[in-house]
Structure 1
């Protein structure tokens, strides 16, 4: 128009200031809305409303860019026009006539599209936009502008604003409204991050209190519920009962048919049990092959009746891998307050009663307190274990680890086995608790350390530099002399720190975090590689995990084995791999039992695999022959 003096220029300036003022009011109200937003859809609706109410604009709409074949714009919120009307026009953000609206252009170009007059704007010249023009004129809209909504560099949609003035949206107003659009995009991104955090917290809660395989509450949940129920029972002066169920054929099925079959068995039994549980009762997967049922107000007679009903429910064979399998479930019963007054003690005594139960004798047993013979046997086994450690009668086994990218052997985990002269091979899950009770953990750890260093030296002398990983317990981490003994072993055998690694369970690390951090730091200074074992089964926070001087995370087999059939487990494994890589750690997957597991983990970028698909635990003397066959 050129520069003009007089009243006309004053009026122009006044109109310009008025437009800037309404944009500032809209920006301020929009920021207030962002501060209180808790839901994405509500935020979009409120922002459109504020643009109309606080800013006095005739129209506001938010559209999201769909990445379908037509590149549709999905309208999320509007003011001043009906959302169904916008949907009926079929606007897109493609580079076609239907995609040249202000919204489509802003999304496609990633820049604001300023429309000075809807009747003369070429974006609305095509006949397809006649309905939009007519609707705008009816609503008193003569100019429309669209601003891209950008999150992490990607345009997710557009904010469209319509005004009554044909010459609206000058440079100052557009600048302020662009800031509003950027703030809205930030608010959307923030709400989505918060939603992801809520999902992550829900996943962590499931990990902490629920079993991934059966979907049932786990042992931790059970103990907490037991504590609550015992307090309530005390207040109301009534008893409660705990039934402990053991699946006798689980380990046999695992050995003969594989872990997947064992998992199928547990899932089917869990399903049957859930159908039999009443609303006020708590059913939990209390251990590998164990279930527990809490009856919050029950007498001995009622508990026996429930045990009888459960044995009937679980009596029918279970279809596993095309076979009908008898689960052989034993049930132990313990009562509060008669048998125990703490959750741990009640669970132990229900477990003790369960071990007395026999399928041929109704399949259940009540705790009686007369397990002296079993106690005596355990004491005898403790003495035998001490003798086995002192006279070097234990066996060193190892289970291989394989680099998934190259399929080359990258080390092994050192494992201890006990071949009892009378009772045969005793599982570590049986004799390690004995060692803990008998104060033999330190001598047992020393035996494993000596044997592993000796074996590593023998391999090194044979030209085989396979690292051996040694498991350390929570007790070991509290041992003030542990690091010095390990330092002495390196000096004695003269092998490099790269040949010895250490694995520590997540639960062991969390038992005494400060002491664990100190021990890990000292071990790391020796030059060794460190693993967090059984990851996902403990309660470590991400802030604590990132501080640990560890090199590898081992995903627990309870998540890996069901990942090919359970989407929840697959999501957990995928998230753990991403988490570890983001923390510059490598990932080891335990429980790789099949080619399907291998393929799934390889697709997710897992670094190292360990499990029966690669190799079972074996005597160290057999490892070289196995490695030759694997290669």
Structure 2
């Protein structure tokens, strides 16, 4: 402590007193600056630089008192689906801006909660227990508010973008640290299909290690071109020629061998991997289409879409870019989607489909007859092709009962009756023999697909008869 006593008649400070006070002020300024820098360093070490939210370390420290109250809190983990896509299409600056705006929305949606960013496009929240409100009920209500605030488009400086999130919820258990609770919530999140928060159950841990490993392998497969496409021809009954093929994904896993699509496609669709997965396969299919064109075979190729693809407003631009890069016309691309895919998020899907149709892409409704089939909704969709589900075509086989055969014939006949009124092409899937082919021809189908025509095969392994049909189909198409 320094005291300079100059009280008296004149009450003045000597020059050396002023110098001493100036020195003292300088030392105090340095000390205060150092204390501020230390606080800042401690803050930055526990907070995300982009959003200002606590990171995992900071969130864990803030949530620690909640875990010792005797009433464990609920935690919520969410992952944005399209952050990587915004980075790729609009640039990292736009991607960062989206994350910042989403962070503010989360804080508004979760007042009183501890909200943090775990990294990338992943956020988390710890919800303090409230008297008289069950923790799980409170967490699900919070998740619903999060979904609501994310439903509105995010207005960036360069564009307006939409995003969805997959949410997982878990209750902390006695003895947990925050990381334990977040791990369980993240396990639940990986089971989400994007239509609502999923609550953790112990059964979700069964097979989790295998699922995580397979997801990691799938990411690597995309990076190293392990995924391949086989193509199943579609036979035009009017010409007796193949005028198109459907691209079907295959994966020769280096350790597990050939995996059926139902082992890994749902995994991609339930995670943020579905967008790069679809874009990769679309690019492969279009490059093969271009190779066929260069070889004198001008057919169309069909690629399947998931619900997440169809709800993505950026999809038409991405498809247009892929077509331009491959150098093939949009009229030679068919995008197949199921009824449930469209109706699952009808408000988002229809504008996307209308824009795809506007650029010339053919839209095909797969598995028709198994879901929401009705004339009213077909009239609202810009589809040009209906694919009758194989379960109905199977009813025409010789082994089917008379009742099943009558039902199948009635459904197919009622479907083909729509084609003139709505300008549709009708495709029968799962045609396995010549008798069924003739039957669907009689019932008014335009195109057939199935093992009787050809099995799916790699482009360079299509049998010679199919190759001749492809070449002839080129002439018919022109």
- Cα-to-partner distance string for 1:197-236 (whole Å, 9 max, x where unaligned): xxxxxxxxxxxxxxxxxxxxxxxxxxxxxxxxxxxxxxxx
Q: Paired residue for 2:442?
A: 603
Secondary structure in 1 matching 2:395:
coil
Residue 465 (structure 1) shift: 0.5
Q: Paired residue for 1:504?
A: 337
Secondary structure in 2 matching 1:479:
coil
1:382 aligns with 2:189: no
2:232·2:455 contact (CA, 8 Å) conserved in 1? Answer: yes
Match of 1:475 among 308, 320, 333: 308
Structure-2 change in CA distance of 1:546 and 1:422 (3 Å): same
2:383·2:424 contact (CA, 8 Å) conserved in 1? Answer: yes
Query: How far apart in 1 are the matches of 2:328 and 2:462?
Result: 19
Residue 561 (structure 1) shift: 1.2
Residue 471 (structure 1) shift: 0.8
Residue 370 (structure 1) shift: 6.5
- Cα-to-partner distance string for 1:593-626 (whole Å, 9 max, x where unaligned): 1111101011112100001110111112223735
Q: What is the correspondence of 1:84-233 to structure 2 with a 5 Å cutoff?
A: none
Listed as ranges, the gaps of 5+ residues in structure 1 are 1-344, 349-367
Q: Paired residue for 2:417?
A: 578
Q: Paired residue for 1:548?
A: 381
Q: Paired residue for 1:593?
A: 432
Residue 373 (structure 1) shift: 5.5
Structure-2 change in CA distance of 1:496 and 1:370 (3 Å): closer
1:628 aligns with 2:461: no
- Cα-to-partner distance string for 1:153-175 (whole Å, 9 max, x where unaligned): xxxxxxxxxxxxxxxxxxxxxxx
Query: How far apart in 2 are the matches of 1:489 and 1:625?
Result: 30
- Cα-to-partner distance string for 1:348-390 (whole Å, 9 max, x where unaligned): 9xxxxxxxxxxxxxxxxxxx95774622111111111111012
Secondary structure in 2 matching 1:419:
strand
Match of 1:568 among 382, 396, 407: 407
Q: Paired residue for 2:351?
A: 518
2:416·2:443 contact (CA, 8 Å) conserved in 1? Answer: yes
Q: What is the correspondence of 1:461-472 to structure 2 with a 5 Å cutoff?
A: 461-472=294-305
Match of 1:536 among 338, 345, 369: 369
Q: Paired residue for 1:101?
A: none
Give the number of aligned pairs: 266
2:232·2:246 contact (CA, 8 Å) conserved in 1? Answer: yes
Q: Which has the higher contact order (CA 8 A, sep 6+)?
A: 2
1:593·1:612 contact (CA, 8 Å) conserved in 2? Answer: yes
Q: What is the correspondence of 1:8-27 to structure 2 with a 5 Å cutoff?
A: none
Secondary structure in 2 matching 1:395:
strand
Query: How far apart in 2 are the matches of 1:543 and 1:518?
Result: 17
Q: Paired residue for 1:33?
A: none
Residue 443 (structure 1) shift: 1.1
1:510·1:538 contact (CA, 8 Å) conserved in 2? Answer: no
Match of 1:488 among 321, 324, 330: 321
1:591·1:611 contact (CA, 8 Å) conserved in 2? Answer: yes
Per the normalisation by structure 2, the TM-score is: 0.53
Query: How far apart in 2 are the matches of 1:453 and 1:628?
Result: 18
Q: Paired residue for 1:558?
A: 391
Query: How far apart in 1 are the matches of 2:410 and 2:430?
Result: 16
Listed as ranges, the gaps of 5+ residues in structure 2 are 1-187, 192-200, 473-478
Query: How far apart in 2 are the matches of 1:369 and 1:515?
Result: 34
Query: How far apart in 1 are the matches of 2:204 and 2:423?
Result: 51
Secondary structure in 1 matching 2:462:
helix
Per the normalisation by structure 1, the TM-score is: 0.41
Structure-2 change in CA distance of 1:518 and 1:371 (3 Å): closer
